[in-house]
Chains A and B, each alone.
Chain A
Amino acid sequence: MRSNLATLRSDVELSLAGRVVSPFGYRDRKSVETVLTGIPEIDALAGGFPRGALTEICGPPCSGRTTVLLSALASRTAEAEVCALIDARDSFDPRSAEAAGVELQQLLWVRCRSLDQSLRAADLVIQGGGFGFIALDLSDVAPETVRHVPLNAWFRFRRAVEDTSTVLLVLEQESNAKTCASLVLRMSMKGAKWSGTAESNANDNAAGINTAGILRHSHEFLAHGGLAQACLPHARLLDGSDVQAEMLHTRIQSVNFQQMQNEFRQAQNGPVSIERHFAGRDFANSGDGFERSTTQSFAAQSMWSYLHAMPVEAKLK
C-alpha cells in the first residue's frame, strides 16, 4: 500500500511538473486570529470566531442562535472590547443579555425597523471602525426577504472588516453570504429540559412516569386515572435546552486540522495503513481534502429573572 501511494505521488508530481510547484507541499494559509465564543463546544468545533472575517449563524427560530450571540457578547465585553448589535427587528432582550453576562454599557444597540435600515446601519458601524465585535441580527427577518440582499453587499461587508480585528457575526434563518463567510454554523434545537420540585418528581416516580423533564398533560392522567395528584405546571420550570451546532463551512485552519495533517504524514510512513489509522473517527468532507468533525452539541441553561431576587441558598440546584 505504501509503495502504491509513493508511486501515485511521484506520478502526480511528474504529470504536474512545470505547471504546479510541489503539489503535495504544505502551504501555510494566512493565519487567522480567532476569539472565544464562550461556548467550549463551539470553540472546539470551529476554533472560535475569526477576526477580520464574516461569520454566519443560521437556523430556524428557537434553535439557539441568540444563545450563541449572547455568549459571544459576554465573552467579548468581558475582555473590555466595544461591541455593537444591529437589531433588524428590535428583538434584543437586555435583561436576558445581562443575565448571560453581557456588559451592557459596552454594547452599542441599534434598533432598526427594516432590513434596509439594518444593512445601512451595519455599514455605518463597520466604516466607523474600532469595534471589536459587530453582530447583525437578521434572525426575525423572513428568509425570502434576506435572500434578496445582493451578494455584493455581503462581499462589501467582508472586505470592510478584512485587515481589521473586528469580528462580524450575522444571524439569519438560512445562510446567504455564500463564499463571503469564513465560517458558517447551523444551529438546531435537540430538545427542551424541564425540571420540577422533589414532590412533583416523587409523584411522577410513584406513578412510574418518566421524569426526564417533559410534563405530560395533567388532564390525560386524570382522564385515565393515572394519578391521584396532577403534575401541576407551576411545579415545573424550563431548565434549558439542548442545542446542536453544525459547521457547514469554514476557512479557518483549526489546531485539530493541523494535528490531523501531521498524523496523515506520520501514517504515510508508519506501519499501520492510513485506513486503519483513521478508522472509527466521525468525519465529513470539508472540501479541503481533509475530513473533520462538523457537529457539536451543548446545553443552554435558562436564566429565570425571578431568581435574581432570591437568596442564593433558596435557588434550585
Chain B
Amino acid sequence: MSFAAIHIPDFIVQAVVRGEAALRERAVAIVDGTPPLWSVVAANRRAAQVGIELGMAKSQAAQFTGVEIRHRLPAQEKTTHEALLDLGWSVSPWVEDSVQDTIVLDLAGLRSVFGPEEKIAHELAKRGSGLGLSARIAVAENIEVAILAARGLPDVTLIPPGEEAKRLSALPVHTLLPAPEILETLTRWGVESCGRLAALPVIQLSERLGQEGVRLHTLARGALVRSLVLAKPSDNFQEEMELDDSVEELESLSFVLGRLLDQLCERLAARSLSARSIRMEFELERSFEKGLQLSAHADQHKLIPRKFEKILTLPVPMRDSKVLLKLARLRLQSAPPPAAVIKIVISAEADRVRTTQRGLFLPASPEPERLELTMARLANLVGDANVGSPQLMDTHRPDAIRMERFRLAQEAVGGRRKKASAPGEKDSSAARMTKPANGFRLLRPSVPARVELRDGLPVRVFFYGSSGEIVAASGPWRTSGEWWQDPWEQAEWDVEVRFSSSAQKNKRSLNPGSERGLYLIYYDLRQQGWFLRGMYD
C-alpha cells in the first residue's frame, strides 16, 4: 500500500500566481494586514533571494526592484485548494484533505491504470502544472512520511520501505510543524534536523517536551502510522477573482473571464466532468460620485444593483473554455453590467461528459457547440424571442404560437428520426396530402383594409394603396379560438382578388405587377373593422 502526498510550496503566492500566469517566473511578495499597515506574509524563492523577508512592511518591500507585490486573496486560496483536491481526485478516489496546501492520495489499485508509482507521481506533477500548480510529490508507504517528504524535498520523491528515517533525517525540524515554543526549545538545544531529533532518547525527550515531544520524535523517525481520513468529493466548481481596479469595458472583462474559464475547465477536465450551466456573478462598484448626485432621491440608490448575474444554460455538457468564453461575451454584449465590476465569481454545474453515438447513415447536423454559438449570435442580432423552433399552441386562436429553444433531435433510430404520430394519423394525413399544400403567408400585424360590401358580400377590397375586385369569395368563417372565453369575434373570408391596372403599377402595392391574388381577409367584430390576415402563396 502506497500513499502520495501533494504539497504546494508557497501556497499563498501560488494562489495569486495561478490567476496571473505572467508572474510565474517573477519574484513575488504577498502582503496582508489592516491598511495602511501592510506587511509581507508570503514570498516565493526568487523574492527571498533578493532579500524580501516575512514581516517586512509593504513600503520596504516596494524598494526592492524586480519584486512584484500583490495583496493576499483568500478567495483565490480557496479555489486553489479546490483545484488541488480536483488534482487528487483525477487520479485516485481516496483523497485526504490534510491542510490547505497538502493532500494525500491512496495509490492502491492504480498500478494497472497509471503504471508504477514513479509514473503516477510524474503524472500528478504534470496534471498539477496543467491546473496552474507547481507541486511537490512524495510517495511512501507511510502517510506522514509522504507528507513530510513532500513538504521538505523538491520535485518528485519516492521513499522505498525501510528508508523512511534515512530520507527524513536531512529535513529541517520545522518541517514537522512543531509548536513555536517547542521549535524554539529544539533550536536552543541545537536540534536542527529530523535526524538529530530522531537520535535523541525518547524517554528524556518526553520528560522535557511531553507527549508532543514523543509525537515529534516518532514523526522524525518515520514511524507514525495512521489511517487516511477520506474527503468527500465536492461538486462545487467555482473560480473567483477580485480585481485591483474596477473594470468597465467588455474587452478587459473578457480577458479576466477567459482566465477564470480556463481554470474552471481544467478542473472539470481533471475530474472528467463537463459543465451543464455556467453562472457568472459580478460584484459591481458603488460609485461615490453617483451616490452624491442621487442623495436627494434616496430610492434611486436601489436602481443600480450591487450584484449582476448571468446564467449560461448549455444545451449539452461542455468544457471547451473558448466556446464558453464566446458565449459569455455574446451574452454580455446584449446585456452588459450596469456598472464597473470589482469582483467576478464563475461557477459551473457539473455533469457527466456528453457521449455521442452517431449513426453512419444519419444526415449531418450542426455541432452542438457551434450551434450554440450561432444561436447566441442570432439572439444578439434579432432578439432572444425571435430565434427558435415554433410550437403550436392547443387553440384555434389565430397565430397562437410559442417560440421554443431550438434543440437538435436526440432520438435517431435506424438512420431515421422517429416521427411522433399515431398510425391512424399517419394514414389519414397521407391520404389527404396527395398534392402539395398551398402555402400561406401571415401578415404580422394584420393590415387594415377597407372592403366594399354588396348585399352582405365583399365585392371590392382596398389595402396597401391598391384596390381590387373580389371575383370569388368563400366565407364568412367565424373564428377566435377559446370560444368559452371570448365570443366568435372574427369572420374570415378567402377571396380571389383581381387588381386594377393602376394597382399593378403601384410599387407600394402588396401585389405589384400581378393581376390576381388569393387572400384571407377578416372582419373583427370588436374593432369593427376589416383586416388583411395573409395571402395564399
Chain A interface (Cβ within 8 Å of chain B)? 38-39, 60-71, 78-82, 90-101, 103-113, 117, 120-121, 124-125, 127-132, 139-140, 142-144, 165, 173, 189, 192, 194, 214-215, 217-219, 222, 233-234, 236-238, 240-241, 298-303, 305-306, 309, 312, 315
Contact = CB atoms under 8 A, between A and B. Distances in A.
A237 B436 contact: no
A80 B441 contact: no
Interface in B500-537: 507, 510-514, 516-519, 534-537
A301 B432 CA distance: 9
Nearest to B368: A130
A192 B436 contact: no
Interface residues of B, number: 78
Contact of A215 (B439, B473, B512): B473
A80 B417 contact: yes
Contacts of B514: 60-63
Contact of B494 (A98, A101, A238): A238
Contact of A132 (B364, B374, B417, B472): B364
Nearest to B517: A62
Interface string B412-428: 10001101000000001
A6 B365 CA distance: 53
A154 B112 CA distance: 59
B287 interface: no
Contact of A121 (B382, B399, B439): B382
Given A109-B388, A128-B371, A129-B366, A240 B412 contact: no
Nearest to A71: B436
B474 A194 contact: yes
Interface stretch (B90-98, B129-137, B167-175, B454-462): B454-462
Contact of A301 (B429, B437, B474, B537): B437
The 5 closest A-B pairs by CB, nearest first: A66-B439, A130-B366, A128-B374, A100-B437, A62-B517
B378 interface: yes
B517 to A, nearest CB: 4
A173 B399 CA distance: 25
Contacts of A61: 441, 510-511, 514, 517, 535, 537
A62 B436 CA distance: 15
Given A60-B511, A129-B366, A300 B390 contact: no
Interface stretch (B11-19, B255-263, B401-409): B401-409
Contact of B454 (A63, A219, A237): A219
13 contacts: A62-B516, A67-B437, A67-B439, A68-B436, A81-B365, A90-B444, A106-B417, A121-B378, A129-B366, A233-B476, A238-B518, A312-B431, A315-B432
B439 A300 contact: yes
Contact of B537 (A64, A90, A97, A128): A64
Given A62-B516, A80-B417, A101-B429, A300 B409 contact: no
Contact of B366 (A128, A217, A233): A128
Contact of B511 (A62, A94, A112): A62
Nearest to B534: A93
A217 B459 contact: yes
Contacts of B441: 61, 66, 91-93, 139-140
B415 to A, nearest CB: 8
B77 to A, nearest CB: 41
Q: Which residue of B371, B455, B536 has the most chain A CB atoms within 10 A of its CB atom?
A: B536
B82 interface: no
Given A104-B391, A124-B377, A218-B455, A241 B536 contact: yes
A113 B382 CA distance: 8
A107 B512 contact: no
B318 to A, nearest CB: 16
Contacts of A306: 396, 477
B363 to A, nearest CB: 5
A233 B382 contact: no
Contacts of A215: 472-474
A128 B438 contact: no
B389 A192 contact: no
Given A91-B442, A121-B381, A219-B457, A305 B396 contact: yes
Contacts, number: 246
A167 to B, nearest CB: 12
Nearest to A94: B390
Contact of A70 (B389, B437, B496, B517): B437
A252 to B, nearest CB: 21
B433 A301 contact: yes
Given A105-B389, A192-B516, A301-B434, 10 more contacts: A62-B518, A69-B439, A91-B441, A96-B437, A99-B437, A100-B439, A129-B366, A130-B366, A194-B474, A233-B476
B374 A303 contact: no
Given A61-B514, A132-B364, A125 B378 contact: yes
Contacts of A240: 435, 438
B317 to A, nearest CB: 19
A301 B435 contact: yes
Contacts of A237: 474, 494
A173 B443 CA distance: 17
B389 A80 contact: no
A208 B114 CA distance: 94
Given A93-B534, A130-B370, A82 B455 contact: no
Contacts of B378: 110, 121, 124-125
Contacts of B205: none
A128 B381 CA distance: 15
Q: Which residue of B367, B370, B507, B518 has the most chain A CB atoms within 10 A of its CB atom?
A: B518
Q: Which residue of A130, A194, A298 has the most chain B CB atoms within 10 A of its CB atom?
A: A130
B231 interface: no
B442 A92 contact: yes
Contacts of A93: 399, 440-442, 534
A108 B378 CA distance: 11
B381 A124 contact: yes
Contacts of A91: 441-444, 534
Contacts of B510: 61
B387 interface: yes
Contacts of B389: 104-109
Contacts of B154: none
A67 B365 CA distance: 25
Contact of B472 (A101, A139, A173, A192): A192
A127 B472 CA distance: 46
A7 B253 CA distance: 78
B473 to A, nearest CB: 5
Contacts of B454: 217, 219
B471 A214 contact: yes
A293 B490 CA distance: 46
Q: Which residue of A120, A139, A302 has the most chain B CB atoms within 10 A of its CB atom?
A: A302
A211 B409 CA distance: 48
B345 interface: no
B438 A301 contact: yes
A78 B416 CA distance: 9
Contacts of B519: 62
A195 to B, nearest CB: 9
A96 B439 contact: yes
A144 B371 CA distance: 33
A94 B392 contact: yes
A233 B474 contact: yes
B465 to A, nearest CB: 13
A90 B386 CA distance: 9
Interface in B346-378: 362-367, 370-371, 373-374, 377-378
A109 to B, nearest CB: 5
Nearest to B411: A80
